Amino acid sequence: MRDEQSESFEQVFREFVKMMGGKVPVTILTDQARAMEIAIENVWPETTHRWCESLGYHHTKKSDFRAEFHRLVNDMLTIEDFEKGWVEIMKKYSLQSNTFLIQIFEVRRKWAKPYFSGKFCAKMTSTQRSESANHMLKNYVPPACPMNLFVK
């Protein structure tokens, strides 16, 4: 891709569907790129869009908080348990007014596991594998390579 604008992602997503014989992904896991989110909403409105799990607990040096946040995000089975646990951890660490955490809680349906019950993700929680593949491909595929030649 030449750029990471929503229009470019839309073009790639449409081409992907063509190459997949018209099949649209059931679930897609991405980082928090707004342009990609817009493109997914426009091209694949029925696809479940999930963010990778690299969120708040990576942004703190408090290892106790990091461990508890990780458990909250990954081990809570119900929405009720997750939301109750969220309130408890925010109180425990006096984070009720933390802007970043307030914002990610508002979009919790994109990244918290209890909201993905019944959505197939093949146990993937990170875009790390695809990012390393992208890095490797950049060594072999020129930036201007058209999608049809890349796939061949």
Same domain, 48 and 60: no
CA distances from 50 to 58, 97, 100, 128 (A): 18, 25, 18, 14
> Could you tell me if 61 and 48 lie in one domain?
no
For strands 48-51 and 27-30, give the pairing. Answer: parallel
Q: Indicate whether 40 and 61 sit together in one domain.
A: no
**Residue 134: per-residue pLDDT:** 54
In the prediction, which pLDDT does 76 show?
A: 81
CB-based contact 36:7 (threshold 8 Å) = no
At 83, list the tokens.
């939301």
DSSP letter at 119? -
Q: 6 and 26 in one domain? A: yes
pLDDT digits (tens, 9 = 90+) for 26-43: 888 888 888 999 999 999
| Total structural domains within the chain | 2
Q: Rounded to an integer, what distance in angstroms lies between the CA atom of residue 112 and that of residue 71?
A: 11
Phi/psi at 49 (nearest 5 deg)? -105, 120
The 8-class DSSP code of residue 24 comes to P
- The string of pLDDT tens digits covering residues 39-69 is 999 999 999 888 876 555 555 666 788 888 8
Domain encompassing residue 95: 56-118
Same structural domain, 62 and 45 = no
Q: Looking at the structure, tell me whether residues 37 and 69 fall in a common domain.
A: no
Same domain as 62, residue 36: no
- Do residues 64 and 40 share a domain? no
User: Does residue 94 sit in the same domain as residue 141?
Assistant: no
